Amino acid sequence: MAKIEEPKVTPERLMQFGFAYAPPLIIGAATANKVFDTLASGAKNVEEVSRKTGASIRGLRAIMNALVGLELLKKSGDKYALTPESEAFLVSNKPGTLAGFFSMNRIRMMQQWMKLDEIVRTGRPAEARNQEGPGTEFFSELVENIIPMSYGSSQALADHLKLADATNQVRVLDLASGSGIWGIALAQKSPYDSDNQTHHEKIRRRRPFQIYWR
């Protein structure tokens, strides 16, 4: 009977974990230096991106080549261009942009994660977010940058519920509403929304949509 060999143990997964911090930092640096925004108008070489952004050629070449490796930029000759993914989600003025999230993650979140060993040892958080000063500043920035993550999904839910064509009352319970964007997007799709004054005027007075925040 043939002997079944045990799978060989390798450090591959651990090495992947060990460098997992790099991609979000690279993306954050690129968004902070307007790399994706600059390439939104078309392919450019490093020197052109440098002139547009004011960032160094050496630094840009390093992160832009890294972004090619991450498949968030494509390169042809000496020119770099956006991929469909980076064009949709990393250009700052696109509706579903995550550009602000990556910059916030680099500045706000990762610095606190660096204190995890001390947090585990002491049992105390790195920073109090339930106090008005730091909490207000943090959550204001957080809400602004997570809204794009939910807006498309909330519009899809509104389409699934057929809110635009509703003739009967539709009630939605928004648990842990957070930014409130789910309620906002659903209300925008409702024929009772004030921005749709000419839409389904005959059912205007039936109040077909209500949302409850919890």
3-state class of 172 per DSSP? strand
Q: How far is CA 79 from CA 11, 44, 73, 131, in A?
A: 36, 5, 10, 48
- Which of 140, 133, 147, 145 lies closest to 177, judged by CA? 147
Nearest-angstrom CA–CA distance, 214 and 177: 6
User: Does residue 204 surpass a pLDDT of 70?
Assistant: no
Distances (CA, A) of 85 to 22, 29, 90, 101: 19, 17, 8, 15
Tokens 């909330």 locate to 154
Torsion over CA of 50, 56, 57 and 61, rounded to 10 degrees?
A: -100
DSSP string, 18-53: HTTTHHHHHHHHHHHTTHHHHHTTS-EEHHHHHHHH
Contact 163, 190 (CB under 8 A): yes
Which stretch of 14-18, 35-39, 81-85 has the lowest confidence by average pLDDT?
A: 14-18
pTM > 0.75: no
Range from 73-77, 128-132, 156-160 that averages highest in pLDDT:
73-77
Helix (H) or strand (E) holding 170: strand 170-174
Write down the pLDDT at residue 146: 73
Does the CA dihedral 26-28-32-36 come out positive or negative? Answer: positive
Q: How far apart are CA 144 and CA 96, in angstroms?
A: 12
91-100, 153-162, 164-173 — which is least confidently predicted? 164-173
pLDDT category, 205, cuts 50, 70, 90?
Answer: very low
Dump pLDDT digits (tens) for 166-196: 777 777 777 766 667 777 778 887 776 544 4
Mean pLDDT across 34-57:
98
Element containing residue 213 per DSSP (H, E): strand 209-213
| Ranges 21-25, 93-97, 132-136, 206-210: which has the least confidence | 206-210
Q: How far apart are CA 97 and CA 104, in angstroms?
A: 13
The whole-number pLDDT of residue 155 equals 84
Segment 100-132, tens digit of pLDDT: 888 888 877 888 888 999 999 999 988 777 777
Three-state DSSP string of 45-88: EHHHHHHHHCCCHHHHHHHHHHHHHCCCEEEECCEEEECHHHHH
Residue 50: predicted pLDDT: 98
pLDDT at 59 over 60: yes
Q: Which residue has the higher pLDDT, 162 or 131?
A: 162
Nearest to 207 by CA among 189, 191, 184: 191
Take residue 124 and report the two structure tokens written for it: 């105390």
